[in-house]
Chain A
Amino acid sequence: MAHIRKAEITSPITTLGGESTSRVVPALLVVAAACIGGAFAWQGLSNRALFLHSYLVSYMFFLTITLGCIFFVMIQHLTKAGWSVTVRRVAEVFGCGIFPMALLFLPILVLVLTGDSSLYPWVNTTPAASGAPEWAVGDERIFDIKATFLTPFWFGIRSVIYFTVWTFIAFRLYSWSVKQDETGDKNISLKSQSFCAPLMLAFVLCLAFAAFDMEMSLAPMWFSTMFPVYIFAGCVLSSLATILLTCLLLQKTGRITDEITIEHYHDLAKLCFAFIFFWGYIAFSQFMLIWYANIPEETFWYRFRFEGGWVVFSLVLLFGHLFIPFLGMMARTVRRNKTYLLFATIFLLAMHWVDHFWIVMPQWKASVYEGYFSHGEPITSSQYVVWPGFVDLLLFVGMGAVFLASFCVVSGNRSLVPLKDPRLHEALNYDNP
Chain B
Amino acid sequence: MNNEVDNREQKKLVGVLGQFDDAHTLVHACEALRDSGVKKMDAYTPYPVHGIEKAIGIPRTILPWIVLSIAAGGLCIGLGMQWYTNATTQLLPFWSGYEFRISGKPMFSLPANIPVTFEVIVLSSAFASFFGMLVLNGLPKLANPLHRIPRFKRVTNDKFFLMVDVGDDKFDASQLRNNFSDWGATDVEEVFQDQTDWKLPAFLKTFAVLALVLMLVPPALIFRARGMTYTGTRLHVVPDMDWQVKFKTQTEGPLANNNTTTEFFFQDIRAQFDDLPGTVSRSDQSGDSEFFKGIRTGSDLHSSHTTPAVLASNQEETAQEETTATTEATAADEPDWVTTIPSQVKVDRDTVLRGQRQYNIYCAVCHGYSGEGNGLANNRAVALSTSGESAWTEAKSLYDPTVIDQPVGRIYDTITNGRSTMGPYATRIKPEDRWAIVLYVKALQKTRKTAVSKTTEDNSAGDKKDSGK
Question: Which residue numbers of A lie inside 8 Å of B, CB to CB?
Answer: 1-2, 284, 287-288, 291-292, 294, 330, 332, 429, 431, 433
> Taking the complex as formed, is B50 at the interface, i.e. its CB lies under 8 A from any CB of chain A?
yes
Cβ contacts under 8 Å, B51 to chain A: 1-2, 431
Cβ contacts under 8 Å, B115 to chain A: 288
B111 and A287 contact, CB distance less than 8 A: yes
28 inter-chain pairs at a CB distance below 8 angstroms, sorted by A residue, are A1-B23, A1-B24, A1-B27, A1-B49, A1-B50, A1-B51, A1-B52, A1-B55, A2-B28, A2-B31, A2-B51, A284-B111, A287-B111, A288-B111, A288-B112, A288-B114, A288-B115, A292-B103, A292-B105, A292-B111, A292-B112, A294-B103, A332-B64, A429-B50, A431-B50, A431-B51, A433-B48, A433-B50
Cβ contacts under 8 Å, A287 to chain B: 111
Cβ contacts under 8 Å, B105 to chain A: 292
Cβ contacts under 8 Å, A288 to chain B: 111-112, 114-115
A2 to B24, CA, bound (A): 8
Cβ contacts under 8 Å, A431 to chain B: 50-51
Q: Which residue of A lies closest to B24 (CB)?
A: A1
A2 to B34, CA, bound (A): 14
Q: Which residue of B lies closest to A333 (CB)?
A: B60
A326 to chain B, nearest CB (A): 12
Q: Which residue of A lies closest to B30 (CB)?
A: A1
A294 to B106, CA, bound (A): 13
A2 to B28, CA, bound (A): 8
A291 and B111 contact, CB distance less than 8 A: yes
> Taking the complex as formed, is B53 at the interface, i.e. its CB lies under 8 A from any CB of chain A?
yes
Cβ contacts under 8 Å, B60 to chain A: 332
Q: Given A1-B27, A2-B31, A332-B64, 6 other A-B contacts at CB below 8 A? A: A1-B24, A1-B49, A1-B52, A288-B114, A431-B51, A433-B53
Cβ contacts under 8 Å, A1 to chain B: 23-24, 27, 49-52, 55
Please tell me the size bucket of the interface on B: 20 to 34
Question: Which residue numbers of B lie inside 8 Å of A, CB to CB?
Answer: 23-24, 27-28, 31, 48-53, 55, 60, 64, 68, 103-105, 111-112, 114-115
* Pairs A-B, 8 closest by C-beta atoms: A1-B51, A431-B50, A1-B27, A288-B111, A291-B111, A431-B51, A1-B50, A284-B114
Cβ contacts under 8 Å, A292 to chain B: 103, 105, 111-112
A433 to B55, CA, bound (A): 12
A431 to B104, CA, bound (A): 53
Cβ contacts under 8 Å, A332 to chain B: 60, 64
A76 to chain B, nearest CB (A): 20
Cβ contacts under 8 Å, B112 to chain A: 288, 292
Q: Which residue of A lies closest to B54 (CB)?
A: A1
Cβ contacts under 8 Å, B104 to chain A: 294
Q: Which residue of A lies closest to B115 (CB)?
A: A288
B160 to chain A, nearest CB (A): 12
Q: Which residue of A lies closest to B64 (CB)?
A: A332
A35 to B31, CA, bound (A): 58
A288 to B51, CA, bound (A): 45
A332 to B31, CA, bound (A): 24
A2 to chain B, nearest CB (A): 7
Q: Which of A292, A294, A332: most chain B Cβ within 10 A?
A: A292
A288 to B28, CA, bound (A): 56
B267 to chain A, nearest CB (A): 53
B121 to chain A, nearest CB (A): 11
A2 and B103 contact, CB distance less than 8 A: no
Cβ contacts under 8 Å, B24 to chain A: 1
Q: Which residue of A lies closest to B51 (CB)?
A: A1
A288 to B50, CA, bound (A): 43
Cβ contacts under 8 Å, A294 to chain B: 103-104
Q: Which residue of A lies closest to B50 (CB)?
A: A431
B111 and A2 contact, CB distance less than 8 A: no
Cβ contacts under 8 Å, A284 to chain B: 111, 114
A332 to B61, CA, bound (A): 12
